[in-house]
Structure 1
């Protein structure tokens, strides 16, 4: 295996770990704020009364909109597409609304300890929301760079086809099989299997096309160049 390919797969593993950890932190932060937002919305209503039950809907309503916007930004940022002003305004509004509802009582009580306690989770969500898209984009770019470097420094010897060698029944020598799958055929298979959520790596190429390890680096480089074009 060319030396850059293990690096690409290692970066891809890190990218997935970072993505999962950031999203886990965001979800935990939003879950932490839910109780405070419910108390803010219930405004002292009796437990299990209709106002008390309805108050539980406020935080999920805001959080689901925020999560939808963050997920959409991950995909658009990957293709270099800028979202409109309304999208960014909606993200900032939902973040600000979560912060205000979570800390309102703490500020009203003039309790510095409670202000800090209830400020940390929404601020972590805010910072992570801004960072997760950029981190994912940069790590995906690092994967593509490693793939490109591998294709340049270690090109395959047969760029047009992936061949196999099988025993020759007429003798002890081996011969090339007649069945040959072209580079374009493998690339078409990869195009059909690709989706915006997929990260193009040699390992992914081998999984969806069945090509050899040597050819997978060139296929990954070619497909990456196609899907990252603006």
Structure 2
């Protein structure tokens, strides 16, 4: 007896879990989406087959007895695809809008009805006896069924999609309350904020940036040794002696002194004056010390 009761209790618990899952809004939405995919596939299959059936009759209507394989006969095959493609575009857009319960604008519905009417008239024109062929009741019924089925399918599809969406909405509304609504919210006690005066930051000492030396950090060239007046006089005297030993006649001028010593224009005047002086003065200049004397240091 106890075993039977326990088994029955387990079955009841399993049934409760299954019922909780089957009534869950997410599970219902998943099942509805599967049904929606099946319905859309069947509807599109019927529409495409119906339009393909009407293609031959529309081509015969457009060819109007043109010879087979002629240009008019080939062009007649373009009439039915032209109308069908426009119709399929409207139906595809309506499939998406119906999913979210959005109605098509007026011109979209007019375009759909116009393409259906054109397809029906061209498909049944000959059967009604409006051409050279006699009236045929069987032909009217035969060629009226595909366009009318396509029309009914196109009008029924949006309604079915709208009802499927409404089923999902009702399942969500009738479902159990969300966990957020069932779980009470417990607020932790919050301690009052104590605002303490913030300590003023110490004044920062701005450091003066050290600028890099001009010239991109290049090393300065080694300073040339400073030459004295006596050095220039000695160099000019040696050049003069060498020229006289070679038998050359040299006119001691500032330009010549500047050429042989490389001194400046102002110094060359002093060097030329010293060379034109007595030989004793030259010897005295040669015997001078190389130390700079006040008034004799001249920049090169």
Pairwise same-fold verdict (TM > 0.5): yes
How far the C-alpha of 1:99 sits from its partner, in A, is 0.2
Specify the alignment match of 2:151 in structure 1.
126
Specify the alignment match of 1:19 in structure 2.
40
How far the C-alpha of 1:138 sits from its partner, in A, is 1.1
Equivalent residue of 2:127, what SS? helix
Specify the alignment match of 1:45 in structure 2.
66
Is this contact kept in 2: 1:38–1:58, CA < 8 A? yes
Question: Is 1:138 aligned to residue 163 of structure 2?
Answer: yes
d(CA) in 2 for partners of 1:159, 1:31: 56
C-alpha change, 1:78 and 1:7, in structure 2 (3 Å) is closer
Specify the alignment match of 2:125 in structure 1.
104
- Alignment equivalent of 1:4, drawn from 15, 18, 23: 23
Higher strand share: 1
Is this contact kept in 2: 1:99–1:119, CA < 8 A? yes
How far the C-alpha of 1:114 sits from its partner, in A, is 0.6
Q: Which structure is richer in relative contact order (CA contacts within 8 A, separation 6 or more)?
A: 1
d(CA) in 1 for partners of 2:165, 2:182: 25
Is this contact kept in 2: 1:37–1:102, CA < 8 A? yes
C-alpha change, 1:63 and 1:158, in structure 2 (3 Å) is same
Q: Look at both structures and tell me which one has the larger radius of gyration over its CA atoms.
A: 2
- Alignment equivalent of 1:71, drawn from 62, 71, 92: 92
Is this contact kept in 2: 1:2–1:154, CA < 8 A? no
Is this contact kept in 2: 1:15–1:140, CA < 8 A? no
Specify the alignment match of 1:181 in structure 2.
none
Q: Deviations over 1:39-90 (max 9, x none)?
A: 1111111222111111111001000101111111222333443333222111
How far the C-alpha of 1:158 sits from its partner, in A, is 10
Alpha-carbon RMSD across the aligned residues, in angstroms, is: 2.2
Task: Give unpaired runs (5+ residues) of structure 1.
Answer: 161-230
How far the C-alpha of 1:9 sits from its partner, in A, is 2.6
Aligned length in residues? 158
